[in-house]
Structure 1
Amino acid sequence: MLLADLARTSNAVAATSSRAAKVALLAELFRAIAPDEAPVAVTYLAGRLPQRRIGVGWRTLTGHTGPAGAPSLTVSRVDAALAAIAAVRGRGAQAERQRLLRELMGAATEEEQHFLVRLITGELRQGALDALAVEGLAAAADADAAGVRRAVMLGGSLGAVARALLARGPGALADFRLTVGRPVQPMLAQTARDVDEALDRLGPCAVEEKLDGIRVQVHRDGAEVRVYTRTLDDITGRLPEVTDAARRWRTEQAVLDGEVIALDADGRPRPFQDVAGRVGSRVDVGAARRALPLCAVFFDLLAVEGRDLLGLPARERHAALAATVPEPLRVRRLTVLDPDGAAHREAARRFAGEVLARGHEGVVVKALDAPYSAGRRGASWLKVKPVHTLDLVVLAAEWGSGRRSGTLSNLHLGARRPDGSFAMLGKTFKGLTDALLAWQTERLQELAAAREPWGVRVRPELVVEIALDGVQRSPRYPEGLALRFARVVRYREDKRPEQADTVDAVRRLHTRAPVPEDGGAPGSPAPGGGPG
């Protein structure tokens, strides 16, 4: 299939608000695509790269050559070209990546170039597309949508299911079942404002501590143990302590869902970044283990001794979990059988407060009667965690691409230093409505101190309220700190730059230290989640 056909479908899907029309467009594409190209096509349509990162930044992308006159690039050729760029290593790597990228872009039409730039920079992301693609795939293959959805959950990949289904028809769905040794997509949680809202929505439930670690799925079949990440990557070799612990379970065959965390000498959780660095380490795993030992803590059991437990209610899966792994390896939880009772509700709030006091991220509230909906953000799991906010100053903004072309989109954000200057902490284009995007484009151009090919540097006068999940260490920024999952809440034109949050306040948020009474970073949330 030509990349031009894929780009055209992507643009058409983005341009319509009709779910039925989106599904019809995707079905038409799937009917025309070769089965072996389907995995890459599905990934591109969702705005992702199979290679994830290819070592190419925005500046490199803006310097590509003029477009080709007619489409010739196939999906397979583009995938091979991006894989080659991602594989470049060593001395002269940047120049070689630029050469390969120029070669690829030179073979692309103008429409294809726009598509590739948005794809590589992440501006093409369409989070809901996977669900629509399931329906489009089912329509293209005359298969049952529920059956396709279940196959994707158990097969771990929409692309793998698409390849099999398009090649062999609906009968291929029978190949996708829960199998020890083959990871399944994890169940995800929706968000509730606080514990009370979660109790109101779920009824009888369990309130579990939410750990700020790396999600893992552990498969044991006798002496064979495999460990997978949330994205289904096999990281078994990097976590010997987890495989050792799994071999001590009270069963020979099981699939468990949990988190890998690290604790300090006081039993408090180490920062997520420390855990992520350890899990990402492939060199001298023994030394890494000695420097930062990890432990797995589990909250669900998906299969045991050949039995698929996915369809069982949560209360039964937890009973089986308790019979499989000892209590120290299970998350703390509180069962709330009567969420309308004042005493039960107060106990749930108190439990959530205790979880936060121990340094964990928050709680997840789970309906006791719910099955495990692999691969879905189910309404029966609700996460409650504090939302931190900071008032930061806009230092610069980058021009958007794709649908945001012509607007200043990606904001550079800074906190106040003691000398009155501002230290950059990160960027975000999240949370911007079309109206806010148009307003900030006009306002930031008024404040422009310098115009660059990529955007504008502005006078540090505009304060914006930013919500974030936390702060992590980063050598990229001058104070060694970076925002995690930052998104715009609103602009604070009622605040002057000297009233913005300080670098010290951000540093306290990173260490989760108490905030002094005279202000600074947002304080700890009230029990039950939400800002205090």
Structure 2
Amino acid sequence: MQHFARLLESLAFTPARTGKIRHLVTHFRNRPDPERGYALAALTGDLELRKVTPSLLRALVTERVDAELFGYSYDFVGDLAETIALIWPTGAPPEDLPLSQLVGELEQAGKADLPGLIAARLDRLDPSGRHAYLKLATGGLRVGVSARLARAALAEYGTVPATEIEELWHGLTPPYDSLFAWLDGGEKPVSAAHAPFRPVMLSTGTDLDQLGALDPAEYAAEWKWDGIRVQASVDRGTRRLYSRTGEDISASFPDLLDALEFEGTLDGELLVRRGAEVAPFGELQKRLNRKSVGKGLLQSHPAALRLYDALLIEGRDLRADPFTTRRKALEGLRNRFDPDRLDLSPLLAFDTWDDLAALRADPPDAVIEGVMIKRKDSPYTAGRAKGPWFKWKRDPMVVDAVLIYAQRGHGKRSGYYSDFTFALWDGDQLVPVGKAYFGFTDDELKSLDRFVRNNTVERFGPVRSVKPELVLEIAFEGLNRSPRHKSGVAMRFPRIARIRSDKPAAEADRLETLKALLPPAI
């Protein structure tokens, strides 16, 4: 367990992607099976543990520590697992149990036995081990490692292409003995999964100045729809839907799976579509991350797939072919599609980049984010190759808002107030409209943290209410109606673009200004 604890600490305090990969590679190299496999599964979210809830942990710690002392400590530290790890009374000499044993206990423990098991383990671990154990038990590692980054580390460890690991991944299970045996020089495992995920091709951002050096006749363009990028795969009767990072999201979209009447792997944008009308992104969010979907939601929020590209069709791998060839093959499937569920993203007609700029500036649908630009001769190459594909997004929306609340961050930000709630004027009242926790530099974070500490009005656990005096320029990519929010709206990807210390709070934007940016209701 101590090795796993040190790994989590190293990852949490290493911001750079290359540094995180280096720590993972070292761990894979130095730890035996199945320890390294369970560490990998914990990081990728592939362990089926009985989840330990915050309420259970609070009940346990307040049996051992004065509740008021714990409350003050939690307010200062800002992270539940870290607070408990530090404040839990030290008992018997600590022991270093194998990670595999701890995982096995959490997998097999019954609900009634879980509190006693957790307490017993916390009694026999040091603070670092307790912190790692609680992160493992709750599933909230928060060390900045995605499943994709972990697979990139595996590729570097075994000196194999990351694409080969991506295509095997969904046929493997923890603790991945066959995977590590292959990476250590053994035989490559055969994927047991039908309809496996194939790594997607990504684009790079661009603008009119960069495009000016390119010949528009060599490129095709289409709308960039505001959904989520997915891959639909059908293989010998198995139908799956994956996010662009390889997460299997099939269970959330059974209505779309039923409409996949083809054999192959196609690339497209997942949307909620009612007839010809594409719903705002907020409507799609109601379908995401659900283990099951009720009949009412299936009827009110029908899923659809707007197709961009074809990777495989009826056993033929098209990824090495030019985009124009793949597009023609995709169009050949059109007659098999239920038009209410699957259609093709239309190609745009343009002769010059100025023509395309005019289209981008005035799209036919409010849910369009911009345009995608693709070299006609480009193969489908996994990853973000610079040059073949570009995304030219519409300029972000911007409002000036007032900072009203701040909350402590997690991991390396646990010592700073880094999650900021902002508001707009509605009459003479400030109404919260969103929350942002990125967009600022390290120096700006320190400045915001200092403002929060010097201007606190009230405290609510780890949250502080501050004097409504600081104006922040908030940039965001979209706006949706939201009955769950007091303001009636929800921003997509809000971020702090600037600290407007030059602007009085009274001159911040009003709620009606924000609502005027809403797309038309469907």
User: Which TM-score band (shorter chain)?
Assistant: 0.7 to 0.9
Which is worse superposed, 491-500 or 426-435?
Answer: 426-435
1:124 to 118, 124, 143: 143
- Give the C-alpha shift of residue 183 in structure 1: 2.3
Match of 1:340 in 2: none
| 2:196 is the counterpart of 1:182 | yes
Match of 2:282 in 1: 273
Cα 1:26–1:235 shift into 2, 3 Å: closer
| 2:370 is the counterpart of 1:370 | no
Match of 2:308 in 1: 299
Contact 1:426 1:477 in 2 (8 A): no
Cα distance per residue 1:365-423 (max 9 Å; x no partner) = 2233333233x3343332222312221111121223432232221112222211x2212
Match of 1:360 in 2: 368
Contact 1:216 1:258 in 2 (8 A): yes
| TM-score, normalised by the number of residues in structure 1 | 0.75
- Give the C-alpha shift of residue 19 in structure 1: 7.9
Match of 1:110 in 2: 127
Q: Secondary structure at the match of 1:137?
A: helix
Q: Secondary structure at the match of 1:182?
A: coil
Q: Secondary structure at the match of 1:175?
A: coil
1:382 to 372, 376, 390: 390
Number of residue pairs aligned between Structure 1 and Structure 2: 482
Match of 1:70 in 2: 94
Match of 1:261 in 2: 271
**Matched residues in 2 for 1:309 and 1:174: separation?**
24
- Give the C-alpha shift of residue 190 in structure 1: 3.0
**Matched residues in 2 for 1:18 and 1:275: separation?**
32
**Matched residues in 2 for 1:413 and 1:490: separation?**
13
| 2:359 is the counterpart of 1:351 | yes
Equivalent position amino acid for 1:449 in 2? V
Match of 2:163 in 1: 150
Match of 1:403 in 2: 412
Equivalent position amino acid for 2:196 in 1? R
**Matched residues in 1 for 2:277 and 2:420: separation?**
34
1:489 to 490, 493, 497: 497
**Matched residues in 2 for 1:22 and 1:279: separation?**
29
Match of 1:216 in 2: 230
- Give the C-alpha shift of residue 81 in structure 1: 7.5
Contact 2:370 2:393 in 1 (8 A): yes
**Matched residues in 1 for 2:24 and 2:254: separation?**
43
Contact 1:42 1:159 in 2 (8 A): no
Q: Secondary structure at the match of 1:432?
A: coil
Contact 1:153 1:184 in 2 (8 A): yes
How do residues 269-348 of structure 1 correspond to structure 2 at under 5 angstroms? 269-278=278-287, 285-326=294-335, 329-334=343-348, 343-348=351-356
Cα distance per residue 1:91-147 (max 9 Å; x no partner) = xx9xx99988767666653234555788866752146x955863x53564xx4333x
- Give the C-alpha shift of residue 301 in structure 1: 0.6
Equivalent position amino acid for 1:351 in 2? L
**Matched residues in 1 for 2:480 and 2:115: separation?**
31
| TM-score, normalised by the number of residues in structure 2 | 0.77
How do residues 417-436 of structure 1 correspond to structure 2 at under 5 angstroms? 417-418=426-427, 420-436=428-444
Cα 1:104–1:391 shift into 2, 3 Å: farther
Equivalent position amino acid for 1:332 in 2? P
Cα distance per residue 1:179-230 (max 9 Å; x no partner) = 85222343333333x3553564797322121122243322234665433344
Which is worse superposed, 469-478 or 398-407?
Answer: 469-478
Cα 1:115–1:421 shift into 2, 3 Å: farther
Cα 1:198–1:158 shift into 2, 3 Å: farther
Cα 1:504–1:330 shift into 2, 3 Å: same
Which is worse superposed, 468-477 or 452-461?
Answer: 468-477
Cα 1:132–1:259 shift into 2, 3 Å: closer
Aligned CA RMSD, in angstroms, stands at 4.1
Match of 1:504 in 2: 512
Cα 1:12–1:282 shift into 2, 3 Å: closer
Match of 1:137 in 2: 154
Q: Secondary structure at the match of 2:278?
A: coil
Match of 1:33 in 2: 31
**Matched residues in 2 for 1:414 and 1:62: separation?**
31
How do residues 28-107 of structure 1 correspond to structure 2 at under 5 angstroms? 28-38=26-36, 40-42=38-40, 56=54, 61=81, 64=84, 66-67=87-88, 70=94, 72=96, 74-76=98-100
Identical aligned residues as a percent: 25
**Matched residues in 1 for 2:439 and 2:141: separation?**
15
**Matched residues in 2 for 1:98 and 1:200: separation?**
64
Equivalent position amino acid for 1:181 in 2? A
Q: Secondary structure at the match of 1:259?
A: strand
- Give the C-alpha shift of residue 463 in structure 1: 0.6
**Matched residues in 2 for 1:333 and 1:461: separation?**
48
Match of 1:530 in 2: none
Q: Secondary structure at the match of 2:501?
A: coil
